[in-house]
């Protein structure tokens, strides 16, 4: 008996020490939490943040679903009977959607939810703000995982608050540029080989110009030709003039330049047909023509009409842009079209062009029609997210393509930095002879010691 009593005492003492150690550990983590989160955010999230969030989600799930109207009552007859003859027993609890295991992610967590009969993903999308408030996280996003299941993703803090500027030297492949960060914490990459044509919209001071700066700064380091069309007298794109192979500063020059680009794509088509390949990437590397990225700033200036002559120019511009969008991806010509206001009221050509621009970026806009033009045909959830961007969220945008959508923010590239990069890499500006006679084209004399690349593969200095 004495031995058993001693064993019990030892066990109790051991349990007490474990309890004290656990309490001390938790207390230490709570006291050191702010410093740990500031200096070692990953360790803080694993040791303290994620366990606390899991407890919070488990504790609030049932009342949250009931409060958002996502709980389904049991059969009415069963509820009435239990109240009349159940000897005071409480009525049966309503059914709530079944929640999967909470899993950590970079900067947050996620889990799957099985929908109850009659529910649709949009019901959970509407409840996302309530989830964020109840769980005390920055934002919650709900997307369809597969029929009957939705994926709930929560971000504990704002990953778009200060995206880090990546080191562009050697980091990106041809026609692939890292321009910022997406809401998941991953890098925001624009890959023109994957999505060849982009539409970028945004009001004044929304971040549109900053995104273009980041894109051009990345492309300037690569062996590509940059062509600019800026019908506001070149106020925006003239910053990159040393690195541009051609620049049109009014609509007349734009019509001439776009016509030259269309002729260039037709020449490249003949080269590919003669070589029996389907695109320029099938040509031998020493015969492959230089890729061309056409940047159009303020699309509305190309479509506004004040006279009959301007109507003809606008139609010519529209036709040329649509042809480049249809043919360019296979022939090494890529479009980045930007504007403050883009709507069907500018003419039928805008809608036809929009259909060819598979990549979309929507910053804060001044009118709902522009957001509808940019995202309405791709994803209604993306449209709602774009319309919720506030003036204080400059740089934040919603990017969408056929693969889905994300909130993102470009890293800051100032006008001075863009101008410096253009000057630093001016020696990489290719001489494209087809564009020399077009408005604003760069001549061979303007680009000394630059290798001249021609469609037939010949090279001169």
Binding residues for ATP, by number, are 202-209
Cα angle 120, 158, 338 (rounded to 5 degrees) comes to: 80
What is the number of alpha carbons within 13 Å of residue 346 lying toward its C-beta? 25
Angle between helices 308-331 and 348-356 (to 10 degrees): 10
Would you say 363 and 397 are in contact if contact means Cβ atoms under 8 Å apart? yes
Strands 176-182 and 404-410: antiparallel
The contacts of residue 194 (CB under 8 Å, 6+ apart) are none
Could you give phi then psi for residue 168, rounded to 5 degrees? Answer: -80, -15
DSSP state of 57: H
Would you say 422 and 242 are in contact if contact means Cβ atoms under 8 Å apart? yes
Reported residue count of the chain is: 461
* CA dist., res. 247 & res. 249, Å (int): 6
CB neighbourhood size of 94 (10 A)? 15
Would you say 181 and 339 are in contact if contact means Cβ atoms under 8 Å apart? no
Q: Residue 141 corresponds to which tokens in the numbers above?
A: 């996003």
Binding site residues, as ranges? 202-209
């Amino acid at each position: 008996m004495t031995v058993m009593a001693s064993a019990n005492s030892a066990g109790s003492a051991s349990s007490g020490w474990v309890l004290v150690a656990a309490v001390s550990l938790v207390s230490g983590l709570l006291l050191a939490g702010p410093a740990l989160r500031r200096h070692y955010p990953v360790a803080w999230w694993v040791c303290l943040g994620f366990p606390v969030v899991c407890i919070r989600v488990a504790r609030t799930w049932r009342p949250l679903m009931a409060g958002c109207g996502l709980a389904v009552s049991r059969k009415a007859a069963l509820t009435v009977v239990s109240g009349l003859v159940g000897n005071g027993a409480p009525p049966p609890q309503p059914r709530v959607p079944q929640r999967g295991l909470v899993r950590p992610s970079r900067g947050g967590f996620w889990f799957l939810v099985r929908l109850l009969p009659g529910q649709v993903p949009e019901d959970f999308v509407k409840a996302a703000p309530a989830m964020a408030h109840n769980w005390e996280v920055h934002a919650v996003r709900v997307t369809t995982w597969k029929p009957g299941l939705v994926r709930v993703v929560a971000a504990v803090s704002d990953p778009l608050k200060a995206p880090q500027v990546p080191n562009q030297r050697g980091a990106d492949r041809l026609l692939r540029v890292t321009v910022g960060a997406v809401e998941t914490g991953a890098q925001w990459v624009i890959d023109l080989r994957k999505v060849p044509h982009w539409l970028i919209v945004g009001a004044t001071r929304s971040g549109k110009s900053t995104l273009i700066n980041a894109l051009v700064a990345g492309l300037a380091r690569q062996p590509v030709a940059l062509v600019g069309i800026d019908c506001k007298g070149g106020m925006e794109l003239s910053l990159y003039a040393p690195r541009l192979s051609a620049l049109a500063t009014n609509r007349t020059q734009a019509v001439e330049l776009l016509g030259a680009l269309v002729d260039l794509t037709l020449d490249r088509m003949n080269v590919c047909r003669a070589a029996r390949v389907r695109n320029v990437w099938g040509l031998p590397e020493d015969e492959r023509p230089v890729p061309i990225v056409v940047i159009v700033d303020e699309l509305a200036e190309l479509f506004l009409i004040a006279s009959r002559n301007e109507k003809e120019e606008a139609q010519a511009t529209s036709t040329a842009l649509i042809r480049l969008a249809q043919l360019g991806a296979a022939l090494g010509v890529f479009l980045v079209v930007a504007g403050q206001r883009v709507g069907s009221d500018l003419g039928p050509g805008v809608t036809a062009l929009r259909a060819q621009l598979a990549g979309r970026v929507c910053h804060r806009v001044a009118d709902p029609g522009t957001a509808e033009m940019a995202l309405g045909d791709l994803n209604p959830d993306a449209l709602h997210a774009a319309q919720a961007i506030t003036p204080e969220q400059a740089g934040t945008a919603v990017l969408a393509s056929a693969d889905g959508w994300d909130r993102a923010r470009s890293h800051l590239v100032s006008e001075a930095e863009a101008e410096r990069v253009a000057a630093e890499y001016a020696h990489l500006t290719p001489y494209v002879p087809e564009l020399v006679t077009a408005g604003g084209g760069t001549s061979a004399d303007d680009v000394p010691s630059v290798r001249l690349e021609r469609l037939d593969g010949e090279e001169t200095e």
